[in-house]
């Protein structure tokens, strides 16, 4: 007897990496072995020295194949045994371990857009545009919503896989949707988000539709796609001073540029100051303010404790990078201020 293991990894495509996967048949009961692939076909190696190594780091039931079949998320290593330059998970592990005592939790809101025949799913087939934004966000009905069958199939698949998915909603632009992953620790939330992205692409494929994380899929008066990143340390969940200190740490000199550089390619085109965004180069925070870089949810101000929402990350952000940057910046500042 055998089972199928779908090995999934993040490639070296610039400026935004893609997911790749291939199948390995294993004897029933066998552990997941280290494997390899041709890095010259994934922007991860030169043809004359093309072998890259796949190291399994997270696996879950495969909801598409069912049975005993599994999905296997991998880190990429060189044959020298060192993390490949495209391997952003390895760097996150160090930071997550360094600040593990602060018990950082993340909840990431993954927005995305369906495309069919070269245009956003639901945009008129003959060209042109649907009616202006307004009724689509959390809409119901065939005149306002497209792709719900795919979205429901994806939600069920994530639940069957045991991923920490916590909700879904239709977004402001037609054909645009969101799912949320978390709250969970920095490494876990990022592993689960990559796996949920894999399932999204894979399931939409069966419907003849492609899902994209393009941060600005339709130019003009249409919302972009983000990955709002909610986070809290234990101290933030217990009091308000750490909430404010965390906001201040993200606006400290040098931090705005460092974070924006890691929040996804094309961020300047999305964080324009319009469409519920703050300009990418000006840091701000405020209660209930969806035009700020960082929002303090109203309930958090009432309770005087809770979490923050960094609204800046693009839909195409690497979750290993955004959780590393926020953990490093916020936990370093809270440790210095003795707010642990």
DSSP string, 261-272: HTS-TTHHHH-S
Q: In the chain, count H helices and then E strands.
A: 9, 14
* Residue 105 binds ligand ADP, judged by CB under 6 A: yes
The smaller minimum CB distance to Mn ion, of residues 44 and 113, is found at: 113
Binding mask 78-117 for Mn ion (x = CB under 5 A): -------------------------------x--------
**How crowded is residue 60: how many other Cβ atoms within 10 Å of its Cβ?**
18
- C-beta of 98: minimal distance to ligand ADP in Å? 19
176 makes contact, choosing from Mn ion, ligand ADP, none, with CB < 5 to 8 Å by partner type, with none
Q: Determine the 3-state secondary structure of 185 from DSSP.
A: coil
Can you tell me the distance from the alpha carbon of 39 to that of 318, in angstroms, rounded to the nearest whole number?
Answer: 20
Quick one: which of 128, 106, 107, 125 has its CA closest to 116?
125
Residues 147-186 binding ligand ADP (CB under 6 A) are 166-167, 180, 182-183
Task: Pick one of 178, 188, 214, 318: the residue that binds Mn ion (CB under 5 A).
Answer: 178
262 makes contact, choosing from Mn ion, ligand ADP, none, with CB < 5 to 8 Å by partner type, with none
326 has which bridge partners?
Answer: none
Do the bridges between strand 2-10 and strand 70-77 make them parallel or antiparallel, or are there none, so unpaired? parallel
Binding mask 284-313 for ligand ADP (x = CB under 6 A): ----------------------xx-x----
3-state SS string for 224-239? CCECCEEEECHHHHHC
The smaller minimum CB distance to ligand ADP, of residues 123 and 177, is found at: 177
* Residue 154 binds Mn ion, judged by CB under 5 A: no
The smaller minimum CB distance to Mn ion, of residues 42 and 223, is found at: 223
Task: Pick one of 42, 59, 113, 230: the residue that binds ligand ADP (CB under 6 A).
Answer: 230
Phi/psi of residue 259, nearest 5 degrees: -70, -45
Binding mask 25-64 for ligand ADP (x = CB under 6 A): ----------------------------------------
Q: Determine the 3-state secondary structure of 33 from DSSP.
A: coil
Q: How far is CA 260 from the centre of its chain?
A: 15
């Amino acid at each position: 007897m055998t089972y199928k293991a779908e090995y999934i990894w993040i490639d070296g495509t610039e400026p935004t990496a893609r997911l790749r996967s291939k199948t390995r048949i294993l004897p029933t009961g066998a552990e997941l072995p280290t494997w390899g692939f041709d890095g010259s076909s994934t922007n991860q190696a030169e043809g004359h020295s093309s072998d890259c190594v796949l190291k399994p780091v997270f696996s879950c039931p495969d909801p598409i194949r069912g049975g005993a079949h599994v999905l296997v998320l991998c880190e990429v290593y060189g044959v020298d045994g060192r993390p490949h330059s495209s391997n952003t998970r390895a760097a996150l592990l160090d930071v997550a371990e360094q600040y593990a005592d602060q018990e950082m939790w993340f909840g990431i809101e993954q927005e995305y857009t369906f495309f069919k025949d070269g245009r956003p799913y639901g945009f008129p087939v003959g060209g042109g545009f649907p009616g202006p934004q307004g009724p689509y966000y959390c809409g119901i009905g065939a005149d306002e919503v497209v792709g719900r069958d795919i979205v429901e199939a994806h939600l069920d698949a994530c639940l069957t896989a045991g991923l920490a998915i916590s909700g879904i909603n239709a977004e402001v632009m037609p054909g645009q949707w969101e799912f949320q992953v978390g709250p969970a620790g920095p490494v876990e939330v990022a592993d689960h988000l990559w796996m949920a992205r894999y399932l999204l692409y894979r399931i939409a494929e069966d419907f003849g539709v492609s899902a994209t994380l393009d941060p600005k899929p339709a130019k003009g008066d249409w919302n972009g796609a983000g990955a709002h990143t909610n986070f809290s340390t234990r101290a933030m969940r217990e009091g308000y001073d750490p909430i404010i200190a965390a906001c201040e740490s993200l606006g400290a000199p040098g931090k705005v540029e460092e974070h924006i550089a890691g929040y996804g390619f094309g961020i300047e085109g999305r964080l324009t100051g319009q469409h519920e965004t703050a300009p990418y180069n000006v840091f701000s925070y405020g209660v209930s303010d969806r035009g700020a870089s960082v929002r303090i949810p109203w309930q958090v101000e009432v309770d005087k404790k809770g979490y923050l929402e960094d609204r800046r990350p693009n839909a195409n952000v690497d979750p290993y990078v955004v959780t590393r940057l926020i953990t490093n910046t916020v936990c370093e500042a809270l440790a210095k201020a003795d707010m642990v």
